[in-house]
Structure 1
Amino acid sequence: MLLPMSKQQPATPATGSPRQAAYTTLQRLSGSDLHADDLIDQELSRNQLQGPDRGLFAELVFGVLRRQGTLDHYLKQLVQQPLERLELPVLLLLRLGLYQLRYLDRVPSHAAVHATVELTNEILPRAKGLINGVLRSYLRRQESLTLPDPARQPAAWLAAAYSLPGWLAEQWLQQFSQNEAAGLAAASTEIPPLTLRVNTLRISRSALLERFHAAELAAEPCRFAPEGIQLLQRCQITGLPGFDEGLFMVQDEASQLVAHLLAPQTGEQILDMCAAPGGKATHLAQLMNDRGCITATDLNARRIRRICESAQRLGLTSIQAVAADALTSDYLEGLQFDRILLDAPCSGLGVIRRNPEAKWRLTPAEISRCAARQHLLIDAAAARLKPAGVLVYATCSTAMEEDETVIKDFLSRHPEFVVENGAQFFPAWTDLFDCSGYLRAWPHRHGTDGFFAARLRRVMQSPS
């Protein structure tokens, strides 16, 4: 039956169990701009969950977010009413229960149903019958539940099978064949590895790997990034050997490639325009042997502090972090730079495997808003670049509207710039560059986050 909307708010359970904690976290995420990893860290820091419960809690939150589209597709076949008419607590509880039944083999079916019904009894007792009935119906009917026909409804099939919003499924099918779009979608639902960038000013990658192996941590070098290490198990970052010594920084492999593409030289004046939280700025300093000057700007003063804290932990002194708006007319007025990195604020479609909540918040309109700002930011970057200087534009987005289209428009208005083919500078990374010379890293092809980067050089003065 349909549960009518009630004036009485459902109870918020104390987070004494992993399922209670997962429900509360999902509830806080719904309709907000909070981040799942931040809320998970907050909950774990309270130390109310111990041992395996900590892992189960994180698995439930991230798992429901990653598989939400698929879960809802099956729930539509199990619930008599449209899902949008269900109260939010009921929908969250159904997702939690169904995720355990469908994806967690280590949780027996009867235990998953019982635990979900018990949790419902704490939150919304009148929904116990509905929750119990739907979950037991799934156990009886799971073999007969269907997905859309991939031949007749490719976008609907991709969205349901791989848990995507419909508009994103359509966008990826425009960019790729159906098989490759499915590969990208599948990779975007997987748990990403924890990737570190070794601070080679203090230790070599091989030496840090030896320290990890001595601590019985499974780790291996990254495929592309020369400073990159992947951890092959869950671990607490601050507890890793060398964290307090500043021997590494958490940074995805694709993100590490961007600083190399800019190729900063010792003694140069470098601008990192949208620098927080500081991963790329500290990498630039590292590549310059901490000799030169990196001006790292960001809008948010609190985020500027994060850059300073990271630089201090890594022992870097060449970074000057400044709170500034790159779109104001007096932004760094009078200053010119040898090289500029613009890691533009974007939709984050390339990192939804790390931030799965984002794909349920994004809309095509939001991507267009991001792109409009990106057009303005790259113009601002060009105004601060010296003659013969290098500008790298990067995003962690898969959307062409935020990537190739921005560069094409910029070049049409700035004939003094040309694209430099990154493959000519980094022949070992040929697989990462497309026919236009743009860096394109993909989760399903390269095992990295989705990243785009274009290396541009000013070859003449701006037209007057």
Structure 2
Amino acid sequence: MKLFTNTVYAVVHAIDEIFNQNRYADKVIEKTLKSNPKWGARDRGFIAESVYDMVRWWRLINFLSPSKDNYQLFGTYWLLQGRTLPDWKEFKGLDSDTIHRKYERLNNRAVIQSIPDWLDEMGAELLGDKWEEEINTLNQQAEVVLRVNTLKITREQLMNRLAGEEIESYAPKGYKDALVLAKRQNVFKNAAFKEGLFEVQDASSQLVSAALDVEPGMRVIDACAGAGGKSLHLAALMQNKGRILSMDTEGWKLQNTKIRARRNGISIIEPRVIEGNKTIKRLSESADRLLLDVPCSGLGVLKRNPDTKWKLTPESITKVQGIQEEILQNYSSMVKKGGIMVYATCSILPSENQHQVEKFLASEKGKEFELLEDQKVLAQESGFDGFYIAKLKRKEA
């Protein structure tokens, strides 16, 4: 593959913004791609994939590179893929054999898997012998997964329509609304997306709304809704009948919910900002179903958000665990007696998952609930994102 100066510069500049200006990779890539409308699909794909790959393997690349210069780091990454470099002055001094020999001598798992030492130690402690394969799986590129909007189309119909546009996909077993694309591509410009026939949502994430066992006509609260992806799924499962309160403490996160709902042909979602404990108290025992898709470390979604591992610290994980505990204690009051509550994270750490549920059930408020079942979804077993889903019922009396 031939390298071009303008696209390599775009990659190098994006890397500088992510690591030296502490910006989020997805936002930087989005801005970079918008900066030159003349780039075609191939150029855009090269930039996005190269940036994400460099972020994913940042520690390893830095270890193998003879210099911390961003061009040298890019060149090291490029040679590591088994490719050749052009004779540019920026790549002077880089030697493929030297880099590969250094890589072959490596025996440090944290460097090989390109993660901080503390994360390797924490993962090994909490996941034991499953950790190495899990982090190896999470370092692979995520597939593009669609969730079919069953209010407008069936999975088979969407698969056939996409196939007619030479977009091949397959239906994974155990995920009734999911389609996985055979080849990565930008589907947001596709007419079927604009018509609201699908959303992009990982297959593991689709298990969360399904776990609530919603029915048409129910009153449902999605209390940590963010941009409303799971609220949209719930509305489809409810056949757009009933009411969904799509809530979050950050109003800006809810801004796109109405737009997405309109595109999906959904009318039962009401976005509402949580302004404090009064908002929660006013909704006491009002929900047939309550979804708590709580803030978490995000370690289960490293495939699609590789910069997470460079922004996390042990302290930030401890802090988010406190938030999780607080949400369980305060928000659980919104579900009716006899109703169902789902606690979910996109983390693989037991300290954010089953340990939190155990702690809640042992508390005074938790005594009103019983655990019906939980799912510990590891990426190495599912092939998709890592998730945790606990289904709890509030006792009748």
Q: 1:141 to 1:314 in 2, by over 3 A?
A: closer
Whether 2:2 is the aligned partner of 1:26: answer no
| Structure 2 residue 115 is matched with structure 1 residue 164 | yes
Contact residue 211 and residue 241 of structure 1 kept, 8 A:
no
Q: How much does 1:27 deviate?
A: 1.2
Q: Which residue of 1 aligns with 2:32?
A: 43
Q: Please tell me whether the aligned partners of residues 19 and 60 of structure 1 are also in contact (alpha carbons under 8 angstroms).
A: no
Change (3 A) 1:439 1:145: closer
TM normalised by structure 2 equals: 0.93
Aligned match of 2:97: 139
Q: What does 1:333-352 align with in structure 2 at a 5 Å threshold?
A: 333-335=282-284, 336-352=286-302
Q: Deviations over 1:80-107 (max 9, x none)?
A: xxxxxx6xxx2x333211000101x4x4
Please give the secondary structure, in 1, of the residue aligned with 2:193.
coil
Equivalent AA in structure 1 for residue 230 of structure 2: K
Tell me, yes or no, if the aligned pair for 2:340 and 2:394 is still in contact at 8 Å.
Answer: yes
Indicate how the Cα distance of structure 1 residues 170 and 216 shifts in structure 2: closer, same or farther if over 3 A, else same.
same
Partner in structure 2 of residue 70 of structure 1: 60
C-alpha deviations, 1:134-154, integer Å up to 9, x for none? x23x534632545554xxxxx
In 2, Cα distance between equivalents of 1:172 and 1:447? 19
1:449 aligns with 2:361: no
Q: Of residues 6, 28, 42 in structure 2, which corresponds to 1:17? A: 6
Correspondence for 2:84:
108
Q: Which runs of 5+ in 1 are unaligned?
A: 1-14, 80-85, 119-130, 150-156, 422-437
Aligned to 1:239, what secondary structure does the other structure show?
coil
Length, aligned pairs only: 390
Find the aligned partners of 1:373 and 1:394 in 2 and give their Cα distance.
13
Q: Which moved more, 1:194-203 or 1:139-148?
A: 139-148
- Counterpart of 1:404 (choices 315, 334, 354) is 354
Taking only aligned residues, the RMSD between alpha carbons, in angstroms, comes to: 2.0
Query: Does 1 or 2 have the higher relative contact order (CA < 8 Å, sep 6+)?
Result: 2
The aligned residue for residue 284 of structure 1 is 234
In structure 1, what is the Cα distance between the partners aligned to 2:283 and 2:249? Answer: 19
Residue 16 of structure 1 contacts residue 48 of structure 1 at CA under 8 Å; is this kept in 2?
A: no
- 2:177 pairs with 214, 227, 235, which one? 227
Offset at residue 30 of structure 1 (A): 1.8
Quote the offset at 1:42 in angstroms. 2.3
Query: Percent same amino acid among aligned pairs?
Result: 28
Q: Which amino acid aligns with 1:143?
A: R
Q: 1:147 to 1:139 in 2, by over 3 A?
A: closer
TM-score by length of 1: 0.80
One-letter amino acid of the structure 1 residue matched with residue 49 of structure 2: E
1-structure distance, mates of 2:102, 2:230: 49
In structure 2, list runs of 5 or more residues that go unmatched: none
Give 3-state SS (helix, strand or coil) of 2:367's partner.
coil
Q: Is residue 43 of structure 2 the alignment partner of residue 58 of structure 1?
A: no
Letter in 1 for 2:387: F
Residue identity matched to 2:71: L
The question of whether the paired residues in 1 share the 8 Å contact of 2:347 and 2:387 is answered with: yes
State the match for 1:418 in structure 2. 370
Query: Does structure 1 conserve the Cα–Cα contact (< 8 Å) formed by 2:225 and 2:247?
Result: yes
Deviation at 1:241, TM superposition (A): 4.1
1: CA distance, partners of 2:208 / 2:25: 26
**Structure-to-structure mapping, 1:366-405, within 5 angstroms:** 366-405=316-355
Which residue of 2 is the match for residue 434 of structure 1? none
Shift of 1:332: 5.4
